[in-house]
């Protein structure tokens, strides 16, 4: 399996501040399971990128053992079985990954809402701490009695204030950048599904999946390439050239011989 063929991506990085977000709390055990599963998922991606395929497979399977609807882990398992040429197993895995995508997407939103709630509580605590320190300094209400000790105490309090203000700015930045949204299914899910169906000679199904891939990601050059190939196989040469040119514009590698065959079929 070639490392460059593997498509690795982050789990739900897009976020956007939503007005009047409701407070959400998840069961502690449920949250703990999700965190453990996510750690195994990230470990699996690292192993996959390092070409430790058997260990990556185990990490993804362990992830799913803890959290069965973790669709991204199942997607990568499907990818592994695809490159092993076990297309029937790969198909079952990618179909289940897509089926569970909405669940894990919604779950991630809830997880992020809980994280936001924690950040807001932390922010409130820091603001209260800063107010208390400022009040002590303003009133000179020190515990120390000698002038030297009072100066040292004031310097310590000012240091605490600076530290708390830094933490407050960091909390504000995290709140601003944490935007729970349910992202649309990644184009790679459709692309992999299409590739599996192609290998199983289910060409109409593959075609539909590639169309979905370019709908989600209009710059998906390899999906355009595959659409061109399927159109050529179906003797739809004009459509084949259309998608081939799309692939080229997106920077995908186009087989010169294939392009020549398409042009010859069109009589150019």
pLDDT 10s digits, 103-152: 877 777 776 777 788 888 888 999 999 998 888 888 777 776 788 887 88
pLDDT digits 0-9 by tens, 223-258: 999 999 999 999 999 999 999 999 999 999 999 999
Tokens of 31: 């949250």
CATH of domain 21-110: 1.25.40.10
Q: Which is more confidently placed, 54 or 112?
A: 54
Please give the Cα distance from 229 to 243 (Å, whole number).
9
- Write down the mean pLDDT value for the chain: 84
Q: What homologous superfamily is domain 187-266 in, according to CATH? A: Tetratricopeptide repeat domain (1.25.40.10)
Contact 58, 46 (CB under 8 A): no
């Amino acid at each position: 399996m070639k490392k460059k063929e593997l498509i690795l991506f982050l789990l739900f990085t897009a976020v956007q501040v939503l007005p009047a977000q409701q407070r959400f709390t998840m069961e502690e055990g449920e949250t703990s399971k999700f965190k453990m599963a996510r750690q195994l998922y990230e470990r699996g991606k690292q192993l996959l990128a390092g070409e430790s395929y058997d260990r990556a497979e185990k990490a993804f399977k362990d992830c799913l053992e803890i959290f069965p609807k973790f669709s991204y882990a199942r997607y990568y398992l499907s990818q592994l079985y695809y490159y092993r040429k076990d297309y029937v197993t790969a198909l079952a895995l990618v179909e289940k990954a897509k089926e569970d995508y909405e669940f894990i997407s919604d779950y991630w939103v809830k997880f992020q809402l809980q994280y936001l709630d924690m950040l807001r509580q932390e922010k409130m605590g820091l603001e209260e701490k800063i107010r208390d320190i400022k009040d002590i300094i303003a009133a000179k209400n020190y515990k120390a009695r000698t002038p030297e000790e009072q100066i040292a105490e004031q310097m310590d309090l000012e240091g605490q204030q600076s530290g708390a203000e830094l933490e407050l700015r960091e909390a504000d930045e995290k709140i601003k950048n944490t935007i729970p949204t349910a992202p649309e299914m990644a184009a790679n899910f459709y692309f992999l599904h299409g590739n599996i169906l192609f290998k199983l000679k289910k060409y109409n199904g593959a075609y539909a999946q590639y169309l979905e891939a370019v709908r989600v990601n209009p710059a998906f050059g390899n999906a355009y390439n595959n659409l061109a190939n399927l159109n050529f196989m179906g003797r739809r040469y004009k459509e084949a050239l259309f998608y081939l040119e799309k692939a080229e514009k997106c920077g995908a590698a186009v087989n010169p011989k294939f392009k020549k065959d398409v042009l010859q079929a069109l009589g150019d």
